[in-house]
Amino acid sequence: MEVKVNQDDTQPMSILTLQGPMFQPLLVSMAEGIHALTSESNAKMGKRLVHVLIELGQNILHHSDERVALTSGGSVGIGRLDLLETDDDWVVAATNLVRLSKVPDLESRCSQLNSKQENLKHKVMKTLKSPTTGHGGGIGLMHMARLSDSRIETRFIEKDSDRVSFEIKVRISKKANNHPT
């Protein structure tokens, strides 16, 4: 974990960068620190920020194509998780490798979520009632889209013939509002 100080006021300040294996206990510790950092200024916004940080970290943990084996069995995903601060927003960004074959589905799901912001709560509830196989069934992306104050930003960068680097950014406004949690 690395904490950086920004010397240039025009660029977002990097508050936290974690690059490497995403272990669940580490994500929980980071979330506790972020909650302590934000709870006095705006508890509701801090709660949303923690939810997004955990969700993006778990996406890396479960879905990254780059993995490290654990001595106890199983594996965890490798990636990068960043928390940035601007004057108006917090930005949580995650980057990890995914198979090229997953790109069309990811692009489609993110595009659909960005275009249907008003129906997301209903969509989450409907998906929860219809169990799927695998980790989460897409609930995490839907939940992040609900918590974000703007569109989810995504970018795909080709790394080799089979994989791309998938970057996702979620913005949480610092301004007090009545955003749902």
Residue where the block lists tokens 């949303």 = 48
Identify whether the C-beta of residue 14 lies closer than 8 Å to the C-beta of residue 6.
yes
Could you give all domains of the chain from N- to C-terminal order, each with its CATH number? 13-173 (3.30.565.10)
* Low-confidence residues of the chain: pLDDT under 70: 1-10, 39-41, 116-138, 176-181
The pLDDT, as a whole number, for residue 72 is: 92
The pLDDT, as a whole number, for residue 178 is: 46
Structure tokens at 56: 């993006």
Vertex 26 angle, CA 173 and 174, to 5°? 10
Identify whether the C-beta of residue 138 lies closer than 8 Å to the C-beta of residue 109.
yes
For 7, counting Cβ atoms within 10 Å of its Cβ (0-12 exposed, 13-18 middle, 19+ buried), the class is: exposed
Best CA proximity match to 64, nearest among 32, 21, 35, 101? 21
What's the CA gap between 149 and 161, in Å, rounded?
A: 35
The pLDDT, as a whole number, for residue 3 is: 46
What's the CA gap between 106 and 34, in Å, rounded?
A: 28
For 82, counting Cβ atoms within 10 Å of its Cβ (0-12 exposed, 13-18 middle, 19+ buried), the class is: buried
What's the CA gap between 81 and 104, in Å, rounded?
A: 23
pTM: 0.81
Torsions phi, psi for 64 (to 5 deg): -65, 140
Identify whether the C-beta of residue 80 lies closer than 8 Å to the C-beta of residue 94.
yes
What's the CA gap between 92 and 109, in Å, rounded?
A: 19
What's the CA gap between 146 and 39, in Å, rounded?
A: 20
CA dihedral (99, 154, 50, 20) positive or negative: positive
The pLDDT, as a whole number, for residue 38 is: 76
